[in-house]
A = this chain, B = another copy of it.
Amino acid sequence: MTGAYGMIHVQSDIGRKQGDACDSITGLGVPRWLSRVCTTVEEGGVFPVSDVTVETSKPPIDIAAGIPDPTQLAYRQIRQAISQVLGDKARAFSALSYGDPLGERSLREWVAGFRNVDVDSVIITNGAMEAIFLSAIATLDPGDTVIVEHRSFPQAARIFSRLGMRLRSVPLTPQGVDIEVLNRLLESQRVDGNRIKAIYTIPNFQNPTGISASADTKRKLLELAEHHGIAVIADDPYHDLWFSQPPAEFPGEYRGTSGSPLLEIGSFSKWLGPGLRVGWLIADSAAVRKIAGYRLGVDGGPATLTQYALSQVLQGSWGNQWLAAERRFYAEKAKALLETLQCRLGEEIDVLPPQGGYFLWARLPEWFNSSAASVRRALAIQGINPVWGNVFTPPSEIDVGQPDDDARHCMRLSFAHVSKNRLEQVADRLRDALDEVRPSH
């Protein structure tokens, strides 16, 4: 009998495939310089697809996706905002025409107020992704090295790799990136001539670990960057989805100021919907103007219409009220997942309680790891798809102070997308998967 939900695929540890996906485009027969790290759509985007296919009667629960809860998007308000913009003779044409390469002025002003920086230091981007891409081309040449955290967002590593940049990684501590190791690495480049030009960090509610850098780490990171003349690309899409208190800000004298090495990336995707494709980058205003020039050679920027829609919907205090409700909502879901996991799995799970964002990072017993086909199969039968920890290990060169631990028995669980009710079933299913494969001794 085929299970009620048919074939379920659960992501495995296949990792990033190289090889035939890198073949030249059929018929064009020419090399592809951006395909050094090569992933096709068939591989499922950011995460690898499964090698496990099972029949199961359990409805799948999606704990992989970093996408919002469908109940938390402002459908009615965005619809109304667009209706107002397109019904307003003063704005309708502008909203459907080419936009300012810096982004729609009124939206830049909102972001500047929201993030407490000068409007000239804000450029609107096609989601956080274009901001990462633009930050990369603004600060690194092909062949240059960028430092990433030793657990990091694989999509960012892919962007750097495709642009011909080399990766090195530094460990994370509970207070953020390990400043001592970073310092040693930067000092060593003076000797061996590496071209380290930037560090890419996810400073708050880190993806995947949930770690937020302390105020002290943030200051030291910037001081170190300034001393060594490297850029700090701080990808911060979860910043505003904090649970009990806002994360520490980078020191004010570095935020959008002249001569600062800091490029701060933010986004509306996680709280108002990624389909708007609107994010932002905050940096030295001279850098921002030049980055606006580069974007004219890439994609021209995000839709003017969605920028106008956001500017309209965010008038007054609506945005902060909406965010406040979302914070409570996601905090409750995080708590529900955390408590059920701790209750059902006890000693067998080690979880860092999430303080914000979308993800919970868990350490399972070493025998429950992504290398074991039996484990992947057990998860597939349970219809759950945690993302294995090793997926977040960047494909970097051998590094200073790198832990041996390859995170194959760690996993990232998203509490963002599925309902609280479904989330509360995850712990039981994970328990059942553990029971299925637990060694008998």
Contacts and interface: CB of A to CB of B under 8 A. Distances in A.
Interface in A116-141: 125-127, 129-130, 133, 137-141
B30 A231 contact: yes
Contacts of A31: 141
Contacts of A197: 30
Interface string A273-302: 111111000001011011011101111111
B259 A26 contact: yes
Given A96-B276, A275-B305, A286-B25, A33 B300 contact: no
A405 interface: no
Contacts of A286: 25-27
| Chain B CB within 10 Å, residue with most, of A43, A99, A289 | A289
Given A27-B287, A126-B126, A305-B276, A133 B297 contact: yes
A114 interface: no
A46 B155 CA distance: 31
B39 A138 contact: no
Copies of this chain, tallied across the complex:
2
Interface stretch (A65-73, A204-212, A362-370, A394-402): A65-73
A344 B229 CA distance: 62
Interface in A68-83: 68, 70, 73, 75-76, 78-79, 82-83
A232 to B, nearest CB: 10
B99 A275 contact: yes
A43 B73 CA distance: 39
A325 interface: no
Given A33-B141, A130-B298, A231-B30, A293 B25 contact: no
A102 B40 CA distance: 11
A270 to B, nearest CB: 11
A299 B127 contact: yes
Nearest to A40: B293
Contact of A34 (B73, B129, B137, B284): B137
A38 B98 contact: no
Contact of A300 (B130, B162, B231, B293): B130
A260 interface: yes
B159 A297 contact: yes
B126 A299 contact: yes
| Chain B CB within 10 Å, residue with most, of A29, A95, A293 | A293
Contact of A129 (B99, B293, B299): B299
A153 to B, nearest CB: 12
Interface in A214-238: 229, 231
A262 to B, nearest CB: 9
B302 A133 contact: no
B87 A79 contact: yes
Nearest to A226: B27
A4 interface: no
A296 B27 contact: no
A252 interface: no
A231 B29 CA distance: 9
Contact of A276 (B101, B229, B296, B303): B303
A106 interface: no
Nearest to A300: B129
A127 B96 contact: no
5 contacts: A21-B290, A26-B284, A34-B137, A96-B274, A155-B296
Q: Sorted from nearest, which 4 A-B pairs have the closest CB atoms? A: A275-B304, A96-B273, A27-B259, A130-B299
